[in-house]
Chains A and B, each alone.
Chain A
Amino acid sequence: MPVSYENSKAVFEGIKAAGIRSISALPETWLGLLLQRAEDDPEVDLIQVAKEEEAIGIATGAYFAGEPHLLLMQNHGFLAAINGVVSLAQLYGIPLCMLIALRGHWGEPYPWHTRGGIVTEEVLRALSIPFEYARDPGRVATQISEAYTFSQSSLSPVALLLTRDLMED
């Protein structure tokens, strides 16, 4: 199924409506149209990392600098970034607003995504990272804004899971 052009736009507009102009990301298929918008928007600073754990450090620097920041990654990238999440963000009380593409879940046709998809929620629970599912394009802007607010008040990582319902047409 193709990535949803309209819903990618809704997510990007939600990020901007939340007052966020700084994004770190590692490109993946569902995030492609979103990242294209971020790259083309002169108001938005996008840093593309080589591996997702770098983005935890970049988000920390942005937080210290007082700049609202958002992380975009696939769930497998989140799994690769866990030490940074635990031993930097959670250890020092650094807020992280993470938008995570939930691959390998209901309807997943690709075998290589499935193991990561099956464990993602349990890993988030084990790490006490609050999370919600984004399924409805009409609600996603509110959810991004709420995720950001909660990350800042709790000084904690917070995850909004971008689902197939939202990201594919």
Chain B
Amino acid sequence: MADELELLRRANPVPDDAPHFADGPLDGRAEHRLQRLLNEPRPGRRFRPLPASAGRTGRARLVWGLAATAVVLVIAVNAVLGDPGTSRAVAAPRPLTVHAASAPVPLRDMVALADAAAAAGSPGPRKGTHVQSWSLGMSDGKPPVTLPEERVVRWRADASHTELVVATDPRRPGRPVLTDEGGEPHLVADGHVISRTTYPPMWSDAPPEAPPPHTAARLRVYLTEIARTQADRGTAALSTAELLDAVAELLGHWTLGARESAAVVRLFAGTGGLRPAGEVTDRLGRPGHAYVYDARGVRHMLILEPRTGAVLGMEDTFTEDAPEYGVKAGAVMGYSAWMR
């Protein structure tokens, strides 16, 4: 019998001449990405536009216009940062807790509320997004870290757009923030600009770039196009997990209007997978109704605005340990809070 390395070699799932991956010239997308890297703004042009004090100008609102709440869990980042004095500046937030004695509101009731709120047809949808996120960064042999970022995408009338990504944690205004900009986690000042990119005019009629429909039936088709490849679109309806994914993707591109939000709530109600959990206060201090879906070791929480049904946020929490990455059950894998 061949030696173990030779056996493993024969079991290579993607040999060097595998379709799609064989050596050769770059394809169009790879070439495009290379050109984007070569032409991106240089680090030397980065700057910190945000004042250290809590101003109320347009740019300042990016960081300071958010409510701060308590941060609980301090994680061991000394090994990563190598500076004992910084460890308390970095914290991994706990999952949201449902308010005791709050009454869960069924999604079908939220459908009625959202429909009523959308009756006037305003506000309308707006291309672009404003999201604060906390992402768990994991790597072999190092403690996981939580990386807070704020991302603002604004489109202009000429179809060009800008994307600004800032390291900030609104729950800890003015405190140093952990980022992995450049590869390794390290602390930067609150408001540090991770990237500021201006994109030339571009058009697309495909989701999620295309304007989202405001009826549930058409929005379902639109979201299916986001969630699935063309070959799979004609099969079963979107699962709860797929719908959560697709809506998050949509919210990464669009700020929904009242009618689109109502359609989203109707679709969530239709999947039947989300369980009403009760009232929560989200990480930006906003009241919301929480809906929970557990799957494959992760608890997904959807947070809806109580009067309009607009999606305020989504939280993914490990429900099982992932020792390979040093993650324990209860750690928040990711949290996104969308703002208008």
Q: Do the two shown chains form a genuine complex with each other?
A: no
Binding site for B on A (CB under 8 A): none
Binding site for A on B (CB under 8 A): none
